[in-house]
């Protein structure tokens, strides 16, 4: 039953993607593909995948215990806080905290988790900002 609900939710989400894609106004300077192509491709993949899940569900899953669900909820909260704090504290600091916390919850020891968080944050910053020249959210320290 849960697969059917999840599949129907995915189909509704795909329909929302299609509606949002068709609401995008195209500029006269757009390329051949246009800005609607990528959201429509994502909606198609999501819709087909969700239809398969709804029409061919797996046997009823065994849900994790309450403690594990609380850990999952905490990880979701960390990702929401990451998105909210990204423009405030910047990419490097917020990514270091989020990656460190998630590494810790995935089984790293605390010191390893801190090193993974800092290494991930600095590594992504170097590649995307310094090498590729892409703009990342600046923090109070200027990076």
What is the pLDDT confidence band of residue 34, given thresholds at 50, 70 and 90?
Answer: confident
Give the residue-averaged pLDDT of 4-24. 94
Kindly state the DSSP code that residue 29 receives in the 8-state scheme: T
Nearest to 100 by CA among 78, 115, 83, 80: 115
Domain limits, the chain: 1-55, 66-131
> pLDDT value at position 140?
84
How far apart are the C-alpha atoms of 92 and 128, rounded to whole Å?
Answer: 12
75 is written with which tokens? 């990880």
| Percentage of residues in the chain having pLDDT higher than 90 | 71
Mean model confidence pLDDT for the chain: 91
Residue 139's pLDDT is what? Answer: 82
């Amino acid at each position: 039953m849960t697969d059917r609900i999840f599949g129907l939710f995915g189909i509704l989400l795909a329909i929302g993607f299609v509606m949002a894609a068709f609401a995008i106004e195209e500029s006269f300077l757009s390329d051949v593909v246009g800005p609607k192509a990528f959201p429509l491709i994502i909606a198609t993949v999501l819709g087909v995948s969700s239809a398969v899940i709804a029409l061919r569900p797996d046997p009823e899953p065994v849900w994790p215990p309450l403690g594990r669900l609380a850990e999952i909820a905490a990880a979701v909260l960390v990702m929401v806080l990451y998105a909210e704090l990204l423009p405030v504290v910047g990419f490097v600091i917020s990514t270091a905290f989020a990656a460190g916390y998630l590494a810790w919850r995935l089984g790293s020891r605390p010191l390893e988790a801190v090193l993974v968080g800092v290494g991930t944050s600095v590594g992504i910053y170097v590649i995307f900002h310094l090498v590729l020249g892409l703009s990342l959210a600046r923090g109070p320290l200027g990076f």
